[in-house]
Amino acid sequence: MKLTLRVWRQKNAGAEGAMSTYEVDGISSDMSFLEMLDVLNERLILAGEDPVAFDHDCREGICGACSLVINGDAHGPERTTTCQLHMRSFQDGDTIDIEPWRASAFPVIKDLVVDRSAFDRIIQAGGYVTAPTGSAPEAHATPVPKADADFAFEHAECIGCGACVAACPNGAAMLFTSAKVNHLNVLPQGAPERETRVLDMVAQMDAEGFGGCTLTGECATACPKGIPLVSITGMNKEWLRAARKVGKR
Ligand code: FES
């Protein structure tokens, strides 16, 4: 395949960015999108040019590091992570626009890499349990109803990639935060911090400058792990319950 890539280039957080155009050929339809970018970077390095900076780690769809807006869609045209997107989703001769996540709470560090430490600070505000975990306990030591276990597992699938924020016209982080809140709040192990968790995580989310949710639903559409929009409703219920019980943060 021969492709025209229009890539966002930005030297650093303070610099002006712009789209740069590159031609790449010899791209196999079996390559992943990141492997295609590796080909581009090898050619840029051989030509003595600065390679394109982009985030990645596992390249298996589990770490949440990869983060590209491809032709206007977070993670591109398939419902998956950028690292699991393959070039068979494109046609020979295509022009592909590649941009970083766009949100004021995710400032660009360089090229396609953004600073997602705001998510880390939301987790630090309450996305944990204080119960000593020690070694793996016997599976039936703390009974968890099957429906609750399934609910927790569904929300635990969030990999914190930030596609929900990038897709949202408000730059809201409600889907991410709700996944983390709901995952722990439904489990007995998460019960001691049930109220403080939701209040503190939502307060931190607001402090980081993420926008408010208007139930547009783009977040759930872009989520590569299928976290449902009702997750946000669940978090709102948890927040109201907690605010009534212990007062707002
Ligand atoms: S690189 Fe880990 S999810 Fe894509």
Q: Considering only CA atoms, which of 5, 84, 1, 76 is closest in space to residue 40?
A: 5
Q: Looking at 43-52, 135-144, 208-217, which range is the least confident one?
A: 135-144
CB 19 within 8 A of CB 106: no
- Rounded-to-integer distance, Cα 57 and Cα 79, Å: 19
Instruction: Tokens for 36, please give them.
Output: 């295609």
User: Residue 9's beta-bridge partner residues?
Assistant: 18
Where are the chain's structural domains? 3-110, 116-247
**From ligand 1's centre to the CA of 180, what distance in Å?**
19
User: Does the beta carbon of 59 sit less than 6 angstroms from any atom of ligand 1?
Assistant: yes
Please determine whether the domains at 3-110 and 116-247 fall in the same fold group of CATH.
no
Please say if the pLDDT value at position 134 is more than 80. Answer: no
Give the CATH H-level superfamily of domain 116-247.
Alpha-helical ferredoxin (1.10.1060.10)
Res 165: pLDDT: 98
Mutation test residue for ligand 1: of 55, 58, 78, the one with most atoms within 8 Å of CB: 58
Q: pTM here?
A: 0.94
User: Does the beta carbon of 64 sit less than 6 angstroms from any atom of ligand 1?
Assistant: yes
**From ligand 1's centre to the CA of 194, what distance in Å?**
30
**Three-state DSSP state, 125:** helix
- What is the CATH architecture assignment of 3-110? Roll (3.10)
Q: Model confidence at 249, in pLDDT bands (50, 70, 90)?
A: low
Length in residues, the chain: 249
| Higher pLDDT pick, 118 / 143 | 118
**Three-state DSSP state, 109:** strand
N-to-C CA span, the chain: 55
